[in-house]
Amino acid sequence: MGKTYSITDLAREFDVTSRAIRFYEEQGLLSPARKGQARVYSPGDRIRLKLILRGKRLGFTLDESRELFELYDPASGNQKQLLTMLETIQAHKNNLSQQMHDIQIMQLELDEAEQRCRQALSESQKDKHHRIQSGV
């Protein structure tokens, strides 16, 4: 009953190669079921892949993403590691704040670049008209 996906299904959906998906498994980020030799991915596996790719967009290494997954795993029990875990989380939160800030600044700068670009375009249009008018 549960929906399943082949490796190419997921590869197509998320625009990655099947090689990449196998690589994530090799690195311990995915562990799909098997049907014979073939990999069979559950909706949970699919989400997991989605998270990996989001992590990548944010500049996380695969190791970091794997570590984050462990934060969400029921297997986390170990109490002594809870403080370490909090530090990890805090570090990630700090990085994200920094990135957020970086993005806002860069968006402003790109807006300015766009304006200058449009300006330059409209002026080259004016020049064209001028040349036409003056018969050059």
Partner DNA sequence: GATTACCCTTACGTAAACGTAAAGGGTAAT
Partner DNA sequence: ATTACCCTTTACGTTTACGTAAGGGTAATC
d(CA 43, CA 51): 12
Q: Is 41 exposed, middle or buried (0-12, 13-18, 19+ CB in 10 A)?
A: buried
Which part of the chain contacts a second copy (CB under 8 A), choosing from 6-14, 22-30, 40-48, 78-86? 78-86
Residue 39 DSSP one-character state = E
Q: Is 135 in the site for a second copy (CB under 8 A)?
A: no
Q: Is 75 in the site for a second copy (CB under 8 A)?
A: no
Q: Is 14 in the site for DNA (CB under 7 A)?
A: no
Q: Which does 7 bind (CB under 5 to 8 A by kind): a second copy, DNA, none?
A: DNA
- Scan for tokens 């806002």, then name that residue: 104
Q: Is 130 in the site for a second copy (CB under 8 A)?
A: no
Strands 33-35 and 38-40: antiparallel
Amino acid type, 24: Y
Q: Is 38 in the site for a second copy (CB under 8 A)?
A: no
List phi, psi (to 5°) of 41: -100, 130
d(CA 51, CA 68): 10
Is 22 or 92 the residue whose CB approaches DNA more closely?
22
Q: List residues binding a second copy (CB under 8 A).
A: 54, 57-59, 71-72, 76, 79, 82-83, 85-86, 89-90, 92-93, 96, 98-100, 102-103, 105-107, 110-111, 113-114, 117-118, 120-121, 124
Q: List residues binding DNA (CB under 7 A).
A: 6-9, 11, 16-20, 22-24, 27, 36-39, 56, 61-63
